[in-house]
Amino acid sequence: MKRLTILMMVLISFLLIGCDKSSTTTESTSSTLSTTTTTSVSGTESTSTSELVTSTTSLEVTLTFNSNGGTSVSSILATYNVSLNMPTDPTKSGYIFSGWFYDDDTFTIPLDSMLSLEDFEDDSLTVYAKWVEEVVDNHLATEVLSIHSSIYGNTNGNLNNQGLAVFDTVHLLHYYSLGSSVYSYNPDTEDTTVLFSLISGGRATFLNLDGQVLYFIDSTTGFLMSYHLENHVFTTISETENIYASRTQSWVNIVYPFEMYSQSYIGLQRYITTSGSFSSIGSYGLENFNINGTRVYYNPIGTVNLSVMNYDGMGKSTIVYLEDQNVDIIHEALLYRVSYDYVAYFGLILTVDDQMGLYTYNSVDGLVKIMDALGGNLHSLNFDGENLYAISGTSASIYKIDLDTMVSTQFMALQGNDTYLQVINHWFYVGTFGNTSLYRINPVTNEIETLG
């Protein structure tokens, strides 16, 4: 009996030892919240470690932006596991922003929208802007159109177009008149120089170029003058008080008013540049004067017809009787094309049934309306070889007319009620009559530059 009691006590002792189990847990206080769990079972310890971030943990770092010469960017406070609230991208003249990067040398590691855990090892972090040099498409500034309104000067168009700019197709320069001076502008280098100044104090108008000789009308005297671009010599060509000049081939065409038997007429004279002499002189009652080769296109005074004649005044014929189409007034007529079979294409500003508008006309398509005058204001027809342009609206805007679709669109708002427009390739010169204001519109930037 005593032995049985001892045996039972031993068995109970073994059972108690087998059931002795202890467990302890220790939490790290580091920023990464490392958690270590140690478990002992039957005298053997097992340890496992894991990293976690609880919902109550908030890791933050000050993120600084080095814009590398761009506009300043303020730093932000970034939070782990939260998408960055990025500031506005910086800008830098002549460059395009290409993103933020961790290094300022190779720019190989870009900044993501969310920082990684390693980014929070320090209190602050700096990233760097990468820039790519901007390549500007500058071809519109220097491109030479094969056909444009100013290749000879004010060749075709309107007596109200004063021809204040002309294109030099040899030296690829713009010449423009401002005040009593004529300037030379290089669209490639953007250099401007004074070509000459008139001692009369007048303005050089109706600029026309033939090789090295620039022809113009002195607004003070009305004389047709020339200026040699190489030897810098002025010559008076005609002392008639002229009101218009244009050039075609080797002729400079001049127009002057006169009276005969108490009637007002327009005189037409042709100066031959190769011989320095004048050819046939005629007196005609004409308006809206256009020239193509030896043909003169015009609107007979007191009519609403478009007519054509040879330069010597012979072979007169009427192209179209516009009064048959309820036309009241021809305000402007711009001859923009003559086909090989002599079909003449016109841009016209007309009043039809008491409404002013812009039209086109040719013998194939007839009279086609493009747009109404806005605010009763429409003038200054021009052509660049592809599109017609005109100024319209009470606040003055340039409108472009696509001659393929016959659709007009507002091209650019001007700075005032400008009444002068001259197209040189893709460039525009605009201004007002009776003063020295002149503006130039850059086709690359569309910026309006004040010339005077």
Answer whether 451's CB lies under 8 Å from 176's CB.
yes
Task: Decide if 16 is inside a domain.
Answer: no
Residue segments in the chain with a per-residue pLDDT below the cut of 70? 1-58, 136, 146-161, 249, 280-284, 415-419, 432-436
Answer whether 216's CB lies under 8 Å from 254's CB.
no
* CA-wise closest residue to 255 among 220, 228, 291, 226: 291
Element (H, E) at 391: strand 387-392
* Residue 294 CB neighbours (<10 A): 14
Instruction: Output the CA angle 363-248-146, nearest 5 degrees.
Output: 75
pTM summary value = 0.66
Shared domain for 151 and 120, answered yes or no, is: no
Shared domain for 43 and 68, answered yes or no, is: no
Task: Decide if 18 is inside a domain.
Answer: no
Answer whether 57's CB lies under 8 Å from 33's CB.
yes
Task: Decide if 35 is inside a domain.
Answer: yes
Task: Decide if 13 is inside a domain.
Answer: no
Shared domain for 88 and 216, answered yes or no, is: no
Q: What is the model's pLDDT at position 58?
A: 61
**111-163 pLDDT, tens digit each:** 988 888 888 888 899 999 999 988 767 778 888 776 544 444 444 444 446 77
Cβ-count burial 343-353 (b if 16+ within 10 Å, e if not): ebbbbbbbbbe
Shared domain for 231 and 338, answered yes or no, is: yes
Shared domain for 47 and 67, answered yes or no, is: no
Give the chain's domain count.
Answer: 3
Shared domain for 146 and 121, answered yes or no, is: no
Shared domain for 157 and 252, answered yes or no, is: yes
Last residue of a domain, one of 16, 34, 52: 52
Cα separation, 430 vs 382, in Å, equals 11
* Residue 371 CB neighbours (<10 A): 17
Residue whose tokens read 């005074």: 301
Q: Which domain holds residue 46?
A: 25-52
* CA-wise closest residue to 163 among 182, 176, 174: 176
Q: What is the model's pLDDT at position 417?
A: 63
Element (H, E) at 99: strand 95-101
Last residue of a domain, one of 36, 52, 68: 52
The residue type at 209: L
Shared domain for 187 and 293, answered yes or no, is: yes
